Structure formats: C-alpha cells, structure tokens
Structure 1
C-alpha cells in the first residue's frame, strides 16, 4: 500500500473516493474478494475535509470479519418511555455493537496493505468525469501537486453538495460525551437506545442514548429529530441536564465529545453519477430514512458491489428495499406533521413487537406478513391518513444542504456537572 509521494498519474481498475465507512468498506471488500484488480482508495489529507474520529453502531448476527474493530457490544437493549417506565429486551441472536472509526481504519488499512494491487493515496478529489473508456479523477496532493487518476469504475462516497428534493426532510442531530464517572453507574450488558425522560422540544422529539463501555465509562448522547440542529451550547446544556437529573451520574469527567448531523429524508438518491461513476454510502442513499442507521446498509452495499464486479458487472444495488423506503416516508411525514407522538410511537414498538423481529424490521430484513404485524402495532389511523396524502405532495429542495457530518473535540479537564439547564428547542422552522 503506497504511502510515499503520490505520482502525477495513476491507472487502476477501480478508484474509491473517500475514506469514511462507505469508502473503507468498499475498498476492503474489493481487495478481499476481487483478486487481480487494482484498487485505489483516495482519502483527503488532514484538514477540514477529513472527518475526525467517530463511532458507528449496528446490530449483527454472530461474528464477522469486522470483529477486531468492535469496541463494545451489548446483548440487551433498553428504551425508557416519557412516563419513566423502561422496557428491556433481548434480541438474540442479534447483538448491538459499536465500532470506532480509528479502529476500523486500522483494520482496513492493514488488510489493504496485505492485498496485491491495493493502494492508498492521500489527495483531495476535485473533479470526476466520464471518459471514453471509464472515468477520470483529478486530484490535488497534500503538497499542492496535480494528480490524475484513470479507472474503469469510480465509486464516490463524498458528501453531496445538496440533498435531493424531498416531501419530508428531517435531521437527526446529536452531541455525545465519552464520560468517566467517579463511581460505577452503568450496566455494561445493556445499551439504552432511546431514553425519552428528557424535556421534549416544542417540535420534534428528543432522547438520550447511553452505550456503556465499563461500569464507570460510557458514551452518553443527546439526540433530536427535527429540521434544524442546535448550537453546541444547547447540546451541552441538554447533556448536563440528562447526566445530572436523569442518569444521576454524580461527579464525572468528559474525556472527549462527538457531534453530528444525519439526514432523514424521503428524497431519491441517484446511485449513478455517470456511465462509470457511482455513488455509495449516504451519498448513494444508504442512510435509513426513519432511523439514521447507515453502517449495516453500507456493508450490504459493499458486498453487493464486490460481487457484481467479480461477475464482470458494475452496479450499485439499492441499499434499502422499496417497501422499507415507503414505510419510512410515511413515518417521517407523520412525525413531521405531529400526527404521531414520537416518544410514544417508538416506545410502544419495543413494548409490543418481539425484539428480534423489530430490529430486523428496522434493518429492512422482514417479510411482508411480518411488516403487517408490526404496522398493526402503530397508530393505524394517523399512519393511513399520511400514506394516502403522500402521493399528492411535491418533492422540494430544502434549505439544509449538508449531509452526514461528525465533529469531535479533544479531552476536557475533569469536571463535575454544573447546575442543569433545560434543552433549547430547535431554532428555525417548526417541525410539526
């Protein structure tokens, strides 16, 4: 795997742009399962285009080859309703697990280094275009030099400049603290997926999210589904309130933080940007509209692309089925209009649907009869009314053009939580 000065021109079978979850996953699958092909992974150098360390979570059945990058996993899941009652479920044989981006990068880079024909280049891709025999990528190297890549196929995971037109567009936005408590406060066998015991914003919904790493360590997040992100100060106030008043952590240290925005939209993401240029990851529609989960879909998409290339075809299959996207569109619209109460909706699903079936449903892996059984445990009237109006709603461009983004901050000095401040409601347009 090349780490020295980049040449001025490189010819390859496949070029993968971007070294986030989608780019790393696809480069890994191609190097592993498509022997005899040269694969170039282009990642941006250190700077504003290179995302900081972040976490990816998903549920999985058994072990797989990503196991060495797994930071933690949980056999049980818990949801706290707004009324304070908790439901704890065991989704066996599924487990929920966390992967830190730095660990995933190390794993994939090690495997690329061992794969003949795999190459990692650090450069900023500025132009991608079709050519007579494939595609060309024009890049700028870290020292300012020009680099031209030619390939039979290019797979682009870089964020889109604007989200596609949609009938409904919400954002899942959050800030999380990696905390260490002075005394044991967490149960490492249970992950809190949604804790609605936080003050709800005027529009949308909010919840806490707790992933224990040890009895005295956890990732604690405050998350909202709404149209507009909060200021960092508002997230911090919400996290202080959650940690002190709801979780009652006592004294704790914030060791690091992460912050991000994930699109939740029923817009149609084109998976092709040219004859030989394809979009993958969030840019190719891999983010599940109603949940924001992306990592599992990226793995499915990467395996499918690798299988197609191995068979002599180039294609990026839909990361989610039509039924899943249709159901998500209904739920997004119902949440956006306020026809369903978000905290009650999600809490009731975990209380009334078998956990393993519900997680497969959220991942798009259920049959039509199973989907009917889940649908009957939702507010049927509001959901049906929403489904009937969707075909008549126009798709429009929204003002928010940013796609998935994550920021991290360095460790902070040890502190005890200050007096709580109530979370601030989203600014900008109302969301119900």
Structure 2
C-alpha cells in the first residue's frame, strides 16, 4: 500500500486548484501528493463563469467574455454595462487540460484515475483510501465528494438547488448578440418558482441557452428542454438550429454546516466543503479564494477543524434562502428590484462579499424589506427557542 502526505479526492475545480497550489508552493515541495479521480478529465462536462475586474489568474483559459449583460424582469428589462467588470466563461475541458499539464511538472504530485470506494479513518491518525486500482494511505485527505443525502438527512437549514439544463446551439441565421450575455431573464412563466433563462452568445449563430431554477425539486428533463425550445422561438424567433452539446447540473443552495463532516484527518473542499455561494450557486471564484486561504492556513500547522468560520454574508444568504424556501415565487421580484435600483457593479461586489457594512444595507434596501424582516424574526425566534427547524 503506497503512502502519501496528502491525498486529494476529485479532480474538479477544487481538487485541481488545491493540487496546483500545493505543487507550486515551496513550503510543500517535500510533501508527496496524490490526486484521485474516476474520470480522465478529457471531456467538456461543464462550464464555469465568473465576473472579474481587469486581468485575472485564469484569463489564459477564458473561452469568451462579455462587457455587457442583459437583465430581464416582468416590469424591468435593461442592457447593462458592467465595466470595470467582465463576465468570463471557462470551459471544463480547457481547465482540466491546463491544470493536468501543470501538475505533470511537479515531481511530488501523482494523478491516478481510479474510483474511490471507501475512506477508512484509523485510530492512529492514518486514513486508508480504497480504490478500484488499489489502496492508498495518508494522514490528510482533502475530499471533494459531494452528496445531497448528507445535507437532506440532517437539514437544520433549508436546502434549495440551482438546477439547469443547457443547450449549446448553432442557428442557421444570425440571431444572437455576441457582446451581451443574458444574465437572468425572468420574463418566462415562473409557475410558482424562481425560473429564468441564461444565454451566453459566442457569435451571432452560436450560444449556450440554459433554463435554470432556484427551487427544492428537480424537473423532468423534458420540461427544461421544452422551455429552451419555447424561448428560442419567442425570444429569437428561431426554430432552425442544431444542438451541438448539452449540459446538466444541480448546485446546492444552502447554509448547511458542511464542516461538521470534517475530522482531524479528512477535510472537505469545493461544493462538498460548502464553497458554493449559498444565495447564487456560483462556485468557481469562491473556490479559488478558499483554496488560497486553505494553503495559507496549512502553513500555520493549526488543526483544520478550526478553519471554517461564519461571517455576516452567511447570515444574509440564510435570510434569502429562507424566503425562497417558503415563497419560491418571490425570487424574480427580489432580483428585479436589485437590478432596477442598484448598479450591477455593486451587486457583483456584494455577491463577492467585498462590500462594507453600509453598502450591504444599501443593497438590502432595494427589494421589499418585509420578507427579509419576517425571515429575520423567524430566525431569532428559532435561536431563542432552539427549535430544530425555523423555516
């Protein structure tokens, strides 16, 4: 059985960023590191998007970026200039290829394609990872395995999902506006939920068109796809197109305490570590920040059980999720009020958790405050009476 100092399970964004961060840092040059994944990471199985000012650390991987976004509501529709921000898209296959090449330059890092079947923690502090190609041992595991089962079986806080199906389409006629990404279009029928269309145009004839919901339950695939067909016809007057690729996903939207699954030897990262922004589902940029924080923290030698902390943004997300869980149809009104009354640059800054407290208040005064006040009162009542659930 081969032994390593660190074992990383999962070669997604979190796993690859962490492996690369450890590999290039001189402080970990003498540490042996194993990265495990069941896939060879050669397929374009997802896309990531970030908003960012100026040049960023992933710019060489950018497939397309937009300086303008479109927001569509029931009563407010507008094209918005987002400078100095850009909205940037990274294809999964480009990200995987780049970081796998980088990992190949680090002599202390190994990548093994294998299916992990079990993680066994021993009393002596060692962890044995059982895989389809053999067993490996270590004293520190970074695990990006995610399961909805864990958070649903111990749901102290509400659990929603950002779920979607997207089509990469190519039309026969020019119908898209390449310089403008449709960030959220709530003009479609809401059906008692928070539902919107999301469009990333690559040219006048090619785009990613995605049907997205913030809700607790998934739909049948047919309903997502019929919504995309209807939108292509109603918004772009287009029925003559080919579907080049499809993508499908579900991202947890919850303030669930993922850190409770950490131990002295097993630490969860990425979505499994709660690194997805609860109120939006955006994960990539947050993962990049958390990875840097984690690597800096490892150098201190302190126990990873103390790494997790809550801040005021966690409570903001909690209040919003409480509202959406109880009255899911309020989502489009909240987002419409935000984009109608506040600049997108400030909204991005707030979602990046970089605002000052007075900017937070200014942002939160844009929507109708009554649902948020009610949500806060419910939370305070729950905290005082120690009820199991408060939503």
- For the criterion TM > 0.5, the same-fold answer is yes
* CA RMSD after TM alignment: 2.5
Structure 2 residue aligned with 1:407: none
User: After superposition, where does 1:376-415 map in structure 2 within 5 Å?
Assistant: 376-393=365-382, 394-395=387-388
| Distance in 1 between residues matched to 2:3 and 2:54, nearest whole Å | 39
| Unpaired runs of at least 5, structure 1 | 1-8, 398-431
Name the residue aligned to 2:45. 53
> Aligned residue for 1:44?
38
Using the TM superposition, give the Cα deviation of residue 370 of structure 1 relative to its aligned residue in structure 2, in angstroms: 0.9
Matched, 1:196 2:183: no
* Structure with higher RCO (Cα < 8 A, 6+ apart): 1
Whose helix fraction is larger, Structure 1's or Structure 2's?
2
- Does 2:294 correspond to 1:305? yes
Residue pair 2:193, 2:328 contacting (<8 A) in 1 also: no
Per-residue CA deviations over 1:7-56 (Å, capped at 9, x if unaligned) read: xx222221110111211121121112233322211111479xx9971111
Higher mean alpha-carbon deviation, 109-118 vs 328-337, is at 328-337
Choose the corresponding residue for 1:166, options 156, 159, 162.
156
TM-score (norm 2): 0.90
**Helix, strand or coil for the counterpart of 1:293?**
coil
In the alignment, which of 60, 73, 88 is matched to residue 68 of structure 1?
A: 60
Partner SS state of residue 230, structure 1: coil
Q: Is the 8 A contact 2:186 2:196 kept in 1?
A: yes
Match of 1:138 in 2: 129
Give the TM-score of the pair, scaled to structure 1.
Answer: 0.82
Determine if the alignment matches structure 1 residue 153 to structure 2 residue 140: yes
| Cα offset, 1:259, TM superposition | 1.1
Which runs of 4 or more aligned residues in structure 1 lie more than 6 Å from their structure 2 counterparts after TM superposition? 316-320
Tell whether the 8 Å contact from 2:196 to 2:211 is kept in structure 1 after alignment: yes
Cα contact 1:305–1:316 (8 A) shared by 2: no
Q: 1:107 to 1:271 in 2, by over 3 A?
A: farther
Distance in 1 between residues matched to 2:306 and 2:17, nearest whole Å: 15
Corresponding position of 2:312 = 323
Q: Equivalent residues in 2 for 1:257-272 (5 A)?
A: 257-270=246-259
Deviation larger for 226-235 or 337-346: 337-346
C-alpha contact 1:73 1:95 (8 A) present in aligned 2: yes
How far apart, in 1, do the equivalents of 2:236 and 2:305 lie? 43
Whether the 8 Å contact between 1:285 and 1:319 is mirrored in structure 2 is no
Give aligned pairs, total.
382
Q: Deviations over 1:308-364 (max 9, x none)?
A: 224444538768852111111111111222287221210221121122111011121
Match of 1:120 among 107, 111, 116: 111
Mapped partners of 1:370, 1:130: distance in 2? 45
Partners of 1:107 and 1:271 lie apart in 2 by 33
User: 1:23 maps to which residue?
Assistant: 15
